[in-house]
């Protein structure tokens, strides 16, 4: 039995600090989604302080959406500090495949430190796994490969949990896999729903040591909040507001009623 | 007959990638307004990747709201790449007139590359056209000059479409001119409505080769969305949310009913 | 009689420009809250222009939420220019106590220029006053010291108005003190309510020369807007939207009815 409600309850009780080095587009939303679920987000990127900030954090979330070389250098410092402390490091491979620079920097991050959870849409993960992709910037492009195989390949390569978001989300740690069917199509009309997913995964992994389970439950709960939000939304902006608020007041009963996580052997 | 509805339909079908180098205040809103109309926004500013990002884009939007020297240098690289590719470059002259540095950097951009559409409020455009203005930061200050003349002067100087936003928007390419009467006063109480206008113009110019027509139609559709949004808004924040959502669901029938674009010879 | 309504009226009439060097998380909200009350926010951080931007401003707000060394250097230039001009400088000591770097940079700012209003939550102010604190990033940690004493100590040390935000806000200039009981618990579930408070204080101090009075009235009016916003909010995101809009339409009658400022000798 997967405890998607239990992990959320732990977040609300423990209020884990989740340190971010993220992009300037959705930085507010990454913080607010965590605040909405009871976690304590902190955003800081000065190279002089990122290691210390990791020192008070229970998870680290990296997002390269608006990366620069210096910013990625600070990410490396933070990730190494997180590795030493043993807290989970999530990488949102935002926009990988769009430019060679982005691909290179993502790979630098993956080799400079241990990234525990790699998250992307289908084309981002395909690119990280070495496939050629044609992307449209930060939006997912079509990928012909078998996604489960792609995820397993990448997972094995970096000993990481791999998360592919999409109509159905896929999570694998190389041994066990999950498919999460929660969510709503309106998410694709809102900037930042992918980034927020990575932040939520970070918060779940902060309080649950089984990181693939944590990621699957994070995506399920987030998707359920989105389903509830979509019920009363005239468009993407109303939907986003409701997403924060439905996640804020999400109950264990509703989670147990709506959760759609399927398990499988990888 | 001006096809303000037709261009919007093309955006929804073609989903053009619009690359931004914009400010940190309204960067989310610039992205979300494009997402709301069906375009695919991408924000990236690392000098190593901006030219590549232009390579997958159909328009480039530059906004100097929170400029630095390095950031403007990256803009120049992006703009030159856009010139080579032949995609439209929009410059939002945000805050020009407020400081000499801002004026200088805007002029550097205008000379380093071909800017196809220059957009600003009355005092920003007046300053670019060489007039002395007294501004209040990023809000429009009073300008005594004839706006049509100012726009024509600047248009001739840089062979660009010039857009002056205000109670009535003015668009000219030196040969033909448009006046757009759509919009709502609440827009002046919301941070970012000017920035979003530039992004919308970029998306329209991405799919319509007549850039002055594209700009006029962009402002009309955006203004119509604002008119609809204002109908049910208790204040600026509710209004902004509705603006995204009314633009998201704007129909051709409503556009044809409400569009207020007047044409004139420049 | 404390004129919490009168100062707001002055802002709406005079529309003061409030220059910010703030963090990338809540930069939009800091701007929009000022726009909502009728002030004219401007955000700019290029070292080449901050002094000139201060030249057209009536107050300066500094927030170190996502600080870097370069950014703090620009803050120093801006603060010195503001000192020379005689306009109030507000420092939001965002996240002080979380890392040694942050503590050091805050102290550098306090010694490089005259900071007129120092604002923080209990643990941030305790740290600035030399106490050891254990923080959770940017959220307030428990402080055992007497807050009034802490505020007075810090006020004396830097000849500044000191503001401690919390369930009850505390304002002191060393001679007179205020306690502000307005506000709502939902504020703690919204990212940026602290940052916005500093911006509002900046706008109030821009039009009222008695800066401790200005700060107290700012917090009261902001808190009243929050109280009204909470009445119709299903969660933090709806609440934040209503906060902007209730402040936008706040009347003098409502302020006089709800204001809860208590005065005391420091």
Q: Encode pLDDT of C212-230 as tens digits.
A: 999 999 999 999 999 999 9
Could you report the per-residue pLDDT of A56-104, keeping only the tens digit for each? 999 999 999 999 999 999 999 999 999 999 999 999 999 999 999 999 9
A214 Rama sector, left if φ>0, alpha if ψ -120 to 50, beta otherwise: alpha
Closest-CA distance, A69 to chain C, in angstroms, reads: 15
Residues across chain A: 266
C197 vs C202: CA distance, rounded Å = 9
Residues across chain C: 266
C237 vs C242: CA distance, rounded Å = 9
Chains A & C: contacts with CB separation below 8 Å: 93
B212, B2 contact by CB (below 8 A)? no
Q: What ipTM was estimated for this complex?
A: 0.96
Could you report the per-residue pLDDT of B29-65, keeping only the tens digit for each? 999 999 999 999 999 999 999 999 999 999 999 999 9
Nearest Cα neighbor of A89 from A190, A5, A214 is A214
Q: Chain C residues with CB-CB distance to B under 8 A?
A: 15, 17, 19, 24, 27-28, 31-32, 35-36, 40-46, 48-49, 52-53, 56-57, 240-246, 248-249
A169 Rama sector, left if φ>0, alpha if ψ -120 to 50, beta otherwise: beta
Q: Chain A residues with CB-CB distance to C under 8 A?
A: 15, 17, 19, 24, 27-28, 31-32, 35-36, 40-46, 48-49, 52-53, 56-57, 240-246, 248-249
Contact B244 A236 (CB under 8 A): yes
DSSP C109: H
B240 vs B246: CA distance, rounded Å = 10
Task: Note the pLDDT of residue B136.
Answer: 73
Is residue B155 scored above 90 in pLDDT?
yes
Spatial neighbors of B209 by CB under 8 A, at least 6 apart, are none
Could you report the per-residue pLDDT of B204-250, keeping only the tens digit for each? 999 999 999 999 999 999 999 999 999 989 899 999 999 999 999 99
- Residue C195: is it exposed, middle or buried by C-beta count within 10 angstroms (0-12/13-18/19+)? buried
CA angle A66, B199, B241 (to 5 degrees): 90
Task: Note the pLDDT of residue B264.
Answer: 81
Interface probe with C: pick from A38, A61, A78, A244, most Cβ of C within 10 Å: A244
C236, C190 contact by CB (below 8 A)? yes
Closest-CA distance, C241 to chain A, in angstroms, reads: 9
Question: A231-246: b or e for each residue (b if 16 or more CB lie within 10 Å)?
Answer: eebebbbbbbbbbbbb
Between the two ends of chain C, the Cα-to-Cα distance in Å is 18
Averaged pLDDT for residues A133-162: 87
Chains that touch A (3 or more CB pairs under 8 A): B, C
Residue A182: CB atoms within 10 Å: 21
A178 vs A212: CA distance, rounded Å = 8
| Minimal-distance CA residue of chain B relative to C31 | B191
Nearest Cα neighbor of A61 from A87, A37, A85 is A87
- The continuous run of DSSP H or E covering B239 comes out as helix B236-248
C264 vs C97: CA distance, rounded Å = 29
Could you report the per-residue pLDDT of B70-101, keeping only the tens digit for each? 999 999 999 999 999 999 999 999 999 999 99
Both tokens of C230, joined, read: 């909470």
Q: For the full predicted model, state whether its pTM sits above 0.80.
A: yes
C228 phi, psi to nearest 5 deg: -65, -40
Interface probe with A: pick from C69, C98, C121, C134, most Cβ of A within 10 Å: C98
Question: Which chain C positions have a beta carbon within 8 Å of A48's beta carbon?
Answer: 69, 101
| Minimal-distance CA residue of chain A relative to C137 | A42
- Residue A155: is it exposed, middle or buried by C-beta count within 10 angstroms (0-12/13-18/19+)? buried
Alpha-carbon Rg for chain C, nearest whole angstrom, is 17
B118, B215 contact by CB (below 8 A)? no
Q: Chain C residues with CB-CB distance to A under 8 A?
A: 23-26, 28-29, 65-69, 95, 98-102, 135-139, 189-192, 234-238, 241
DSSP B142: -
Contact A42 C192 (CB under 8 A): no
Is residue B27 scored above 70 in pLDDT?
yes
Question: Which chain A positions have a beta carbon within 8 Å of B49's beta carbon?
Answer: 98-102
Interface probe with A: pick from B19, B41, B44, B50, most Cβ of A within 10 Å: B44
Could you report the per-residue pLDDT of C98-130, keeping only the tens digit for each? 999 999 999 999 999 999 999 999 999 999 999
- The continuous run of DSSP H or E covering C200 comes out as helix C193-207
Q: Is C144 helix (H, G, I), strand (E, B) or coil?
A: coil
Task: Note the pLDDT of residue B266.
Answer: 57
């Amino acid at each position: 039995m997967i405890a998607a409600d239990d992990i959320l309850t732990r977040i609300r009780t423990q209020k884990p600090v989740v340190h971010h080095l993220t992009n300037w587009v959705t930085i507010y939303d990454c913080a607010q989604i965590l605040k909405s679920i009871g976690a304590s987000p902190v955003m800081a990127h000065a190279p002089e302080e990122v290691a210390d900030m990791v020192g008070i954090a229970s998870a680290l979330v990296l997002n390269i959406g608006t990366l620069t070389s210096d910013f990625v250098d600070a990410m490396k410092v933070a990730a190494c500090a997180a590795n030493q402390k043993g807290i989970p490091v999530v990488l949102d491979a935002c926009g990988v495949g769009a430019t060679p620079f982005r691909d290179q920097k993502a790979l630098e991050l993956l080799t400079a430190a241990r990234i525990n959870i790699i998250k992307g849409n289908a084309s981002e993960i395909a690119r990280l796994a070495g496939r050629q992709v044609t992307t449209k910037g930060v939006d997912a492009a079509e990928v012909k490969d078998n996604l489960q195989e792609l995820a397993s390949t990448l997972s094995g390569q970096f000993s990481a949990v791999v998360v592919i978001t999409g109509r159905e989300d896929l999570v694998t740690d190389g041994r066990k896999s999950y498919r999460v069917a929660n969510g709503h199509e309106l998410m694709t009309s809102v900037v930042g729903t992918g980034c927020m997913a990575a932040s939520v995964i970070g918060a779940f992994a902060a309080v649950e040591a089984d990181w693939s389970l944590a990621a699957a439950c994070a995506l399920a709960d987030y998707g359920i909040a989105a389903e509830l939000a979509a019920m009363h939304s005239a468009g993407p902006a109303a939907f986003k507001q409701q997403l924060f608020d439905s996640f804020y007041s999400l109950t264990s009963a509703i989670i147990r009623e709506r959760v759609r996580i399927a398990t499988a052997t990888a």
